[in-house]
Structure 1
Amino acid sequence: MGKAIEITDANFEQIIASDKPVLVDFWAEWCGPCKMIGPIVEELAGDFEGKAVVGKLDVQENAQIPMKFGVRNIPTLLVFKNGQLVDKQVGVVPKNVLAQKLNNAIAKEVV
């Protein structure tokens, strides 16, 4: 079963360069809503195994990437394809909303 991977400032660029869509969950240990969406992100990692990359970036330990993308509120979930930002979600949403964003990214042609 797929599991969300740990994304850091150091490996971020390499991970989002994937030819598969990449969902990045910006979170922190102290964030209550992040704890609510965490299990959903883990489920998506399993659901989209082989079709998309799902990862989590701890904003406490990694400051550069959240700053680069203007992440001020968490949880923030960004979807990348071929290294480009293609979708964004701030706050807790049902699993199907995030699944739809990944499906859209899978179907989307990015040039």
Structure 2
Amino acid sequence: MVEDKTLDFLIRKKVIELHKSLLKSEGGGKMPTGVIEVDSKEFREILSKYKVVVADFWAEWCMPCRIVSPIIEKLARKYAGRAVFVKVNVDYNQDLAAENGILSIPTIIVYVNGREYERFIGAFPGLEKKLSLLIEQLSS
């Protein structure tokens, strides 16, 4: 069991390192695509760098989070180049969860110019449509 947790930690650490190198190599204002799993430092960097950021605060054990995840991935593909999509695992980033007032998961927060614009809590019918309309409005 301990070995599984260690392996999981090392894999996550490597994924974060790869995302960081991707962000550095993309420079010049080009937006990263897809959904990026971030740590605290990278989260702050992305918020300061891009106009529209959609953050999915989640945990592996959370069933509603698993329902929301494909929606976030679909929207990330649809709005590539117009918004940056990040995932924040609240178990590994408790500081970010506390700073952002995350009391329930999944919580999706849309940031504009580094500030919270709107928040959606839970997996509910119509979430995809509401997020889509909001991103359309903010990124046009």
Q: Which residue of 1 aligns with 2:107?
A: 76
Q: Which residue of 1 aligns with 2:92?
A: 61
Who wins on radius of gyration, i.e. which is larger? 2
- The structure whose residues are more often strand, as a share, is 1
For residue 96 of structure 2, give the secondary structure of its aligned residue in structure 1: helix
Percent identity reads 33
Deviations 1:24-51 (A, max 9, x none): 0000000000000000000011001000
Using the size of structure 1 for normalisation, the TM-score is 0.88
Higher RCO (CA < 8 A, seq sep 6+): 1
**5+ long unaligned stretches in structure 1:** none
Using the size of structure 2 for normalisation, the TM-score is 0.71
Checking the alignment, whether the CA contact within 8 Å between 1:86 and 1:105 is kept in structure 2 is: no
Shift of 1:20: 2.7
Q: Which residue of 2 aligns with 1:44?
A: 75
RMSD over aligned Cα atoms: 1.3
Equivalent-residue separation in structure 1 for 2:137 and 2:98 (angstroms)? 26
**5+ long unaligned stretches in structure 2:** 1-32
Give the length in aligned residue pairs. Answer: 106
- The structure whose residues are more often helix, as a share, is 2
Shift of 1:18: 2.8
Q: Which residue of 2 aligns with 1:86?
A: 117
